[in-house]
Amino acid sequence: MSSPTEIPTYLNYINGQWTPASTGEVEVRSNPANTNDKLGTIAMSSLDDLNLAVSSAKQASRAWKKLSGSARGDYLFKAAAILESRVDEIAETMTREMGKTFPEAKGETMRGVAILRYYAGEGMRSIGDVIPSTDSEALMLTTRVPLGVVGVITPWNFPVAIPIWKMAPALIYGNTVVIKPAAETGITGAKVIECFAAAGFPVGVVNLINGSGPVIGQGLVEHPDVHGITFTGSGAVGKRIGQWALARGAKYQLEMGGKNPVIVTADANLDLAVEATISGGLRSTGQKCTATSRVIVQSEVYEAFQDKLLQKVQQITVGDGMKDGIWMGPCANENQLNKVLSYIEKAKSEGGKLVAGGNRLQGEGYDQGYFVQPTVFSDVTTEMTIAQEEIFGPVLALMKVDSVEEALALANDVEYGLSASIFTTRIDHMLSFINEMEAGLVRINAESAGVELQAPFGGMKQSSSHSREQGRAAIEFYTSIKTVFIKS
């Protein structure tokens, strides 16, 4: 642990240089498992700094887009190798900066490596179609061109994977990038960019600017030289970003919240369903947009499922994610802790039956951190706040239904539509679920979280701007189609 006078300062990365903010202001980052542990400071930038970052990205754009896809891919392969070589150090920074356990942080960092390699390969794949022309002497085809400068605004909950799954496709398809990571995880963000810098990307192709959302985030969205904005975070901020971007004709992509259900039918393998509910709902302290938060169980197995679930929940070890044997870390920050505690109080006052947890953890090892017990409510009904709003914490709401039809109606009775799971052994239930569930990601006999980098990811309803990230789907956002007609 460093003393406050020794902590390092993480600068912006603009035009190939590590640069302090013109304001001279910094913000200290501390460990949510132990707030006495200070990791370092990040720059709190101004719009002047942002203008420099965007102008550097704009200047780099012409030469970057002229490179072949395979040449751009080589830079991504180099960044992947460097990130992989620093996996332990970057994962430890992530754990100390936002609380996720070290094994999870390591898994996420390796996922970043895999995403970089996947998109490096994209530089060699087809980007268009040949379309028969009505003129037999002409050739008609589509190609794709980059947007130009892409602004990337990312949250704190996946501080390596999300920046990379936005930057890697932006770069491989020929865009230059200005990223503003959540200030909450500005140091992890800076370390990711160190890997890009060390990979030797041409000056200005990748720029990092730390600062607050309302200043730097909004400034990026409103900047006339930023042609595309990709955002993951809250619905409230996302919707405003969409409006600002639309108002000036910029392309935008928003990934926002979820209120993801798991349906457990009477014929389900209950042990499997319990494992997946715990993993999907409580890993990362429930701070995933894909986290399970509603567990809709058929009445025949409701009591048996609840008993098994509670037994497993009691075994969860909560503590500092750097320690061996800890399964669940703290909430990422004080706001998150307070948000979770207030939803717990609301659930109690609205008639939810608290059957596990419900409190902030106190005592040795807990007092300097933002720890909350894994919490389960039973007898939750759909009009209750905890059945409707995203909590982003380790809280599960159990709901009882009499039929699979009722389960599906309940599962769809929210404004979100990101991910959903069903546990069943019956093919007719699987098919009803696939057809009727209003979610971008439907999973059968598997937890609601867990995204594969090569598949499209995104939500329906209020969960996204209806675009998809990751896999080949990313090309749709990061490029424009150009239709070409050639005749001699």
Ligand X SMILES: NC(=O)C1=CN([C@@H]2O[C@H](COP(=O)(O)OP(=O)(O)OC[C@H]3O[C@@H](n4cnc5c(N)ncnc54)[C@H](OP(=O)(O)O)[C@@H]3O)[C@@H](O)[C@H]2O)C=CC1
Ligand Y SMILES: O=C(O)CCC(=O)C(=O)O
Nearer of residues 285 and 378 to ligand X, judged by Cβ? 285
Q: How far apart are CA 183 and CA 328, in angstroms?
A: 23
Neighbours of 126 (CB within 10 A): 9
289 binds ligand X (CB under 6 A): yes
Burial of 350 (0-12, 13-18, 19+ CB in 10 A): middle
296 binds ligand X (CB under 6 A): no
Strands 34-43 and 26-31: antiparallel
DSSP letter at 403?
S
372 binds ligand X (CB under 6 A): no
217 binds ligand X (CB under 6 A): yes
- Shortest CB 255 distance to ligand X, Å: 6
Query: Does residue 137 have an active-site annotation?
Result: no
Q: How far apart are CA 289 and CA 301, in angstroms?
A: 28
Catalytic residue among 122, 194, 255, 390: 255
390 binds ligand X (CB under 6 A): yes
- Shortest CB 167 distance to ligand Y, Å: 15
123 binds ligand X (CB under 6 A): no
- The phi, psi pair for 346, rounded to 5°, reads -60, -45
- Beta-carbon contacts of 336 under 8 Å, excluding residues fewer than 6 positions away, are 287, 370, 392, 393
Which option in ligand Y, ligand X, none does residue 290 bind, with CB closer than 5 to 8 A by kind?
ligand Y
458 binds ligand X (CB under 6 A): no
474 binds ligand X (CB under 6 A): no
43 binds ligand X (CB under 6 A): no
- Shortest CB 342 distance to ligand X, Å: 11
440 binds ligand X (CB under 6 A): no
Half-sphere exposure of 372 (CA within 13 A, CB side): 31
Which option in ligand X, ligand Y, none does residue 346 bind, with CB closer than 5 to 8 A by kind?
none
In 3-state terms, what secondary structure has residue 123?
A: coil
Q: Which residues bind ligand Y (CB under 6 A)?
A: 157-158, 232, 288-290, 449-451
Which option in ligand X, ligand Y, none does residue 213 bind, with CB closer than 5 to 8 A by kind?
ligand X
Q: How far apart are CA 141 and CA 484, in angstroms?
A: 5
Q: Backbone dihedral region of 285: left (phi > 0), alpha (psi from -120 to 50 degrees) or beta?
A: left
Report the site for ligand X in 245-284 (rule: CB under 6 A): 255-257
Which option in ligand Y, ligand X, none does residue 296 bind, with CB closer than 5 to 8 A by kind?
none
Which parts of this chain interact with ligand X (CB under 6 A)?
153-157, 180, 182-184, 212-214, 217-218, 221, 232-234, 237, 241, 255-257, 289, 336, 339, 390, 392
- Which of the residues are catalytic? 255
